[in-house]
Every structure is written in structure tokens, then in C-alpha cells.
Amino acid sequence: MEKKQVIIDTDCGIDDAQAIMMALAAPNIQVVGVTCVFGNAAVENVCQNVLRVLSVCEREGIPVFRGAAGPLVGASSSASDHFGTDGLGDVIEDRDQQWEQKIQREHAVNAMIRLVTENQKQVSLVALGPLTNLALAVRLDPCFHQKLKDLYIMGGNMEGKGNVTLCAEFNFVMDPESAYIVLEEFLCPTYIASWEYACRNALTWEFFEELINQDAPAAAFMKTITSKCWAYSKEAMRNKRDVYFGPGFVSYDAYAMSACIDSSVVTESIQCPVRVELQGSICRGMMALDRINQLKKNHSVFVLTKCDVTKFGQLLMSSLRQPCKK
């Protein structure tokens, strides 16, 4: 079986780790590189987190590249502490002091351009963090998007319901200009797993308990990094999510990755143009869906709305069942 080549662009927090493990476990996926960006943590921590995930899965041979440390425009945004200050729950004590020697010397953006150029129309790009590296790539190589097979994004929102600001989702609000550039200029097939999509297709907390209590190193690792993280506290997240969506376990980034791995996981989507708002104190970073062709854009994206939660759960469960094959 010919494998699908994938670049993962990540701000590696706990849910990114789950998504990366999902890709590594998928028999039809070949991860050709992981590019790091600021977001859930400083980019230095993100690099270390990716290396740790690859080590747990016995896939240290996959190259890791350091990318943007801040947004395209303006001062660097403060990294979120949603998943702890280090992005992996602040529970890892034996940090690798030699991690920088394991990161590729090539900048993430240059690597992204090179890998896609060498394998035109064969590489899927899965973006799990702020879109800064992608925006820089299309600025350095205006034809970059034309060389991609397709693009999967975890980010944005459909209904103006924010999870960081009043109206915007975390990944987009961390660098609205980059999100704007990507959704205006990338003309390859694009699939967006928004915040609402993830929340509306939540799994149960009973599933989460079964997931992390499997007898396998990857599951033990996930159990450790979620052990002290408030984002994986059933009570805390029930109270937080009841406002819009009700309680449930949501592994945000894994929704975008699952769509890349198996398109049949997605059962419904909306095809329409979108635009990211850059102005205003309330709506900056919000993604607007144009269902009436008011923007007169010639490019539409697929905004995912419903998924087969059984298949999604199976992909998650398999990702932690055993270390991935080399």
C-alpha cells in the first residue's frame, strides 16, 4: 500500500501529542517531517515535546524542525498555559539536556518548502497550531500551496463563539494575520476542523479513561501528561463547556489528523469561502463563513461539521495501543 506523505506543523501540547501519535500509528501514513511553531508553549518547549513523543513511539528517525517563535505581525503573544507552561502538563522532570542537537539545523519553513517541492502534489500538510510557518512559506515561495496535495487545519470557528477571546479560537487569534494569509492564498484542497466541530463530536470521559489505561507505553505516557492538567479534569471541563456544547472529552487536534488519515471519518461538511477578521477588539481572529457569496472569492474550503465518532475513537484507541513500528 502506497503511504500518504504528511508534514505535521505543530505547537505540541497534549492534544497535538495525541494527534501525532495517531499519525504515527496509521499504516497508511508516512510522516516525512514535523515542523514546530509557538502556541501552546514557547517554540523551544514545542521542539522538546515533539522529540519526546517521537521517542515514546520509537520514531526518533523522523526529522524535527524549529520554526516561528512568534506571530507574523506585532509582539509575540504569550504562550497559553492550557496544557501547562511546557505544553505537556508540567509533569516531565527528566528533560533532555541535549535536545537542541537532535533538532535539524534547517529552519522549519525552509524544510517545509523543500519537502513539498521535492514531492509535488504528494504531501498533505496538517496544521495543528498557529499558522505562522505556513504564512511564511507562501511568502518565501508564492507557489508553495500549489505544490501541496491538500491541507488540514485545526483552528478557527464557525459561529463567532470563541474559546480564548469572545469571538475567536486559540490557534487563529494567536496569529490572525497568518490565518488570514493562509485562507486567502492557499488554493489547494483545504479542510478545517474548527473548535465547534471538535466540541460537537466529543467523546465520553469513560472513553478517555479506557484510552489512557491501556497496557502500552504510549498510553502510559498520555496518562502521565494528562494527570495534573486541568484541561483533562472531567469536572473543570464540564463546567467550562456546558455554556455551548455540554460535557465531553475533546482531543482537538486529533480531529484534523483523523480527517487526513481517513476521509470517511468526516460525514458532513460545509463547502464555502471563508475569511479571517483582522479588525476590532471583539472579532479579531474570528473566521467568517461566506454562504451567500458576498466575498466573491474563487476558492472554497471544506469546513467540517460532523464525524463518525466511532471511527474517530478507534483511531485514538489504536494510537495508544502500542509503540508504532519503525
Q: Which residue has the higher pLDDT, 325 or 315?
A: 315
Q: Which residue has the higher pLDDT, 243 or 222?
A: 222
CATH number at 4-319: 3.90.245.10
Average pLDDT over residues 261-268: 98
Average pLDDT over residues 161-177: 94
Name which of 193, 158, 218, 190 is nearest 301 in CA terms: 190
Q: Mapping DSSP to helix (H, G, I), strand (E, B) and coil, where does residue 6 land?
A: strand
Q: What is the pLDDT of residues 215-236, one digit of tens each?
A: 999 999 999 999 988 778 766 5
Name which of 250, 254, 325, 320 is nearest 16 in CA terms: 254
What is the pTM assigned to this prediction?
Answer: 0.95
Name which of 183, 213, 221, 218 is nearest 302 in CA terms: 183
As a whole number, the mean pLDDT across the chain is 92
Q: What is the pLDDT of residue 232?
A: 82
Q: What is the pLDDT of residues 49-65, one digit of tens each?
A: 999 999 999 999 999 99
pLDDT > 50? residue 325: no
Q: Which residue has the higher pLDDT, 117 or 244?
A: 117
Q: Are 15 and 269 in contact (CB under 8 A)?
A: no
Confidence of residue 79 (pLDDT cuts 50, 70, 90): low
Question: Per-domain residue ranges for the chain?
Answer: 4-319
Q: Are 171 and 131 in contact (CB under 8 A)?
A: yes
pLDDT > 60? residue 240: no
| pLDDT above 70 as % of the chain | 93
Distance CA 99, CA 184 (A): 36
Q: What is the pLDDT of residue 324?
A: 47
| Residue 270 phi, psi (nearest 5) | -110, 125
Q: What is the pLDDT of residues 179-210, one digit of tens each?
A: 999 999 999 999 999 999 999 999 999 999 99
Q: Are 171 and 237 in contact (CB under 8 A)?
A: no
